[in-house]
Amino acid sequence: MLAVIGGSGMAQLPCLEISHRQIIRTPYGEPSGPLTFGKINNHEIVFLARHGHGHIIPPHAVNYRANIWALNSLKPKHVIAVAAVGGIHADFKPGMLVIPDQIIDYTYGRKFTFFEGTEQPITYTDFTYPYCQITRDYILEAAKQANEAVIDGGVYAATQGPRLETAAEINRLERDGADMVGMTGMPEVALAKELGLCYATIAVVANHAAGRGSSVLAIPLAEVYAILEKAMVNVRNILQQAAKYNGN
């Protein structure tokens, strides 16, 4: 089974032939919404909208632990997370798709681990390579089969949100080595790593980050949504190809 987490611009998966929806209870509360089950190209898919039905849950309020726990209970072979980002690197232009290979965490106050409390021993998770390389290769091959261009690799800066960043903050992120900025990468990938899930991200560059590009005075949000809508077609093409050989 392939699991897909939809972010901004992907509250549903139109290419999915839905069979049923299911609410999964977890020790960490309820996920963002019911999990949607169905098939793409006759292969089983489960879909979860990260921000809930109607895109109502802001990034800092997402119950990441419940979401990842619920998906893990289904034992998917791969988890593909779709996330909108702002492009910091000059080559990361609006509309492009990136498969990040590293992440820097700037979030705070989020429930970021399953290993807490005095009733269990301290557990350390190797986070040298946060994204599953097997799943990254799987996405890259699907993109190739779908004839969709993607950038292989990049550093994702995860910020708190829901506000966007200042130009000075983006300058700092660039000095830190970040290529793109988003609000949902952490702790999602870390939680997946703790449970041993094969997890990777398709990052959709929705806009130039603050102070970048031609619109240096402000980020044109109306244009962002139009870019996302168009880019999600490319993402769906990749997911459809991924579903074809998910069982291999």
Residue bearing the bigger pLDDT, 143 or 213 = 143
pLDDT per position as a tens digit, 66-76: 999 999 999 99
The response to whether 89 counts as a known ligand-binding position is no
Tokens of 50: 């990260």
User: Tell me, what's the pLDDT at 215?
Assistant: 58
pLDDT per position as a tens digit, 84-103: 999 999 999 999 999 999 99
Specify the CATH class of 2-244 in words. alpha beta
The response to whether 51 counts as a known ligand-binding position is yes
- pLDDT bin (cut points 50, 70, 90) of residue 41 is confident
pTM for the structure as a whole: 0.93
pLDDT per position as a tens digit, 199-242: 999 999 999 999 987 655 566 677 888 898 899 999 999 999 99
Neighbours of 196 (CB within 10 A): 10
Answer whether residue 186 shows pLDDT above 70: yes
Give the residue-averaged pLDDT of 10-31.
88
- Write the DSSP symbol of residue 29: B
Torsion of CA 103, 105, 111, 116, to 10 degrees: 80
Query: What separation in angstroms does the CA of 179 have from each of 44, 53, 56, 104, 204?
Result: 33, 30, 27, 10, 13
The response to whether 236 counts as a known ligand-binding position is no
The response to whether 10 counts as a known ligand-binding position is no
Answer whether residue 248 shows pLDDT above 60: no
The response to whether 184 counts as a known ligand-binding position is yes
